Amino acid sequence: MDIDPVMEKLKDNFGWVVPSIPDEKMGCKEHNVSDEAFEVINAATDCILCGSCYSECSMMEVNQRYISPPALLKTFRINNDTRDTLGGERLQHVTADHGLWDCTHCYRCVEHCTKKIPIMDGIHRLREEAFERG
């Protein structure tokens, strides 16, 4: 499987933490995450970006522009990282066309995940977050 499309989707959807610590203070002190806050994202941090969920996603078969399960899982993980500051903008981006709402809930991503990550739980939580933010 060509992993480049997965990486492009992660890049296009801000698949990294945008820290609240200014660049000049980065590395000067720890930016800890509480055990309770980490528990929310714990399963999602196990993703190794192997692409199994991507290659088995029924939406990817019909729409190559669909955001993809790994990008949605990464969005959930990063948006719920207490060190991140880009949550609202990232969420707005993934709810656009070919994004979060196009998931058909077929659960193939979960069935084929090599790490047994509950990917759909993250997708459902993203939807709840989108509803809460309006």
Residue 105's nearest CA partner among 58, 54, 47, 53 is 58
DSSP 40: H
Checking if the pLDDT of 100 tops 90, the result is yes
Number of C-beta neighbours around residue 110 at 10 A: 17
Contact 122, 73 (CB under 8 A): yes
Checking if the pLDDT of 1 tops 80, the result is no
The residue ranking higher by pLDDT, 80 or 1, is 80
For 47-97, write each residue's pLDDT tens digit.
999 999 999 999 999 999 999 999 999 999 999 999 999 989 999 999 999
For 7-62, write each residue's pLDDT tens digit.
999 898 888 899 888 888 888 888 888 999 999 999 999 999 999 999 999 999 99
| pLDDT score, position 5 | 87
CA 51, CA 38: separation in Å to the nearest integer?
24
Torsion of CA 20, 26, 27, 32, to 10 degrees: 0
Q: Which two tokens stand for residue 33?
A: 């995450």
Burial 47-82, CB ≥16 within 10 A → b, else e: bebbbbbbbbbebbeeeeebbbbbbbbbbbbbbbbe
pTM of the model: 0.91
Mean pLDDT across 107-113: 97
